[in-house]
Amino acid sequence: MNYLEKIPVPPHGTFNLGLTAANNKGMVGFFGHPVIDGKYRPDGKCTTANSPPFKKLLATRNVGPFALTGIKPALDAIEAIFLRVKAEQPALYAILQTEGMLCCRFTKIKQKNGTIKIGPNVSNHSWGTAVDIKLAGSLDTQGDGFTQRGLLVLSAYFNAAGWFWGAAFPVEDAMHFEVSRSLLSRWQQSGLI
């Protein structure tokens, strides 16, 4: 299978079934701001997580094909996802790489003219609950309505684990996977966050 092949994003009713993205109000409700007083860089670059209660949730760990920094239950979940991928899709596992996880910043949205618009919402990367995946060094293009075949395959594993695939965002972001609102609620109920 050619995991780098560009294919149209499938219809939205065929993935993320029963899952919703966690919005900023919900994320602040779960964690507070990871940055003291919610002061993020206006240019969209990473600000350091400096809120003491939030910093206690963070860890850096090798999750299989690479290391990530994020909240501990998210790292546990990604590690379990990648163990399944390694067992069932070893050729896909072999080309998994990342563009990162924890980055306290405003959202970056590609515009039709190719420029990037910053904010006004805070990215879920700020809480270490979102990860961007690239395949064999190749980044999927945001906002073109296409995805790499490998990301589509990977989306089934993330969805099964309660993660929302960013291909369904108003501006498609197929390399982006984030913890769903319902999974965050389960983690909170079990005392993990």
Task: Encode the chain (193 residues) as per-residue pLDDT tens digits.
Answer: 899 999 999 999 999 999 999 999 999 888 988 998 778 888 888 988 988 988 999 999 999 999 999 999 999 999 999 999 999 999 999 999 999 999 999 888 877 787 888 878 889 999 999 999 999 999 999 999 999 999 999 999 999 999 999 999 988 999 999 999 999 999 999 998 8
Helix runs in the chain, H state only:
24-31, 52-55, 72-88, 90-93, 149-160, 181-189
- Looking at the domain assignment, is residue 30 inside a domain? yes
- Looking at the domain assignment, is residue 118 inside a domain? yes
CATH number, domain with residue 40: 3.30.1380
In this prediction the pTM is 0.93
Look at residues 142, 41, 35, 59 and name the one whose alpha carbon lies nearest to residue 99: 142
- Looking at the domain assignment, is residue 7 inside a domain? no
Total tally of structural domains belonging to the chain: 1
- Looking at the domain assignment, is residue 1 inside a domain? no
- Looking at the domain assignment, is residue 3 inside a domain? no
H-helix or E-strand spanning residue 60: strand 58-62
- Looking at the domain assignment, is residue 55 inside a domain? yes
Domain that holds residue 19: 14-189
- Looking at the domain assignment, is residue 5 inside a domain? no
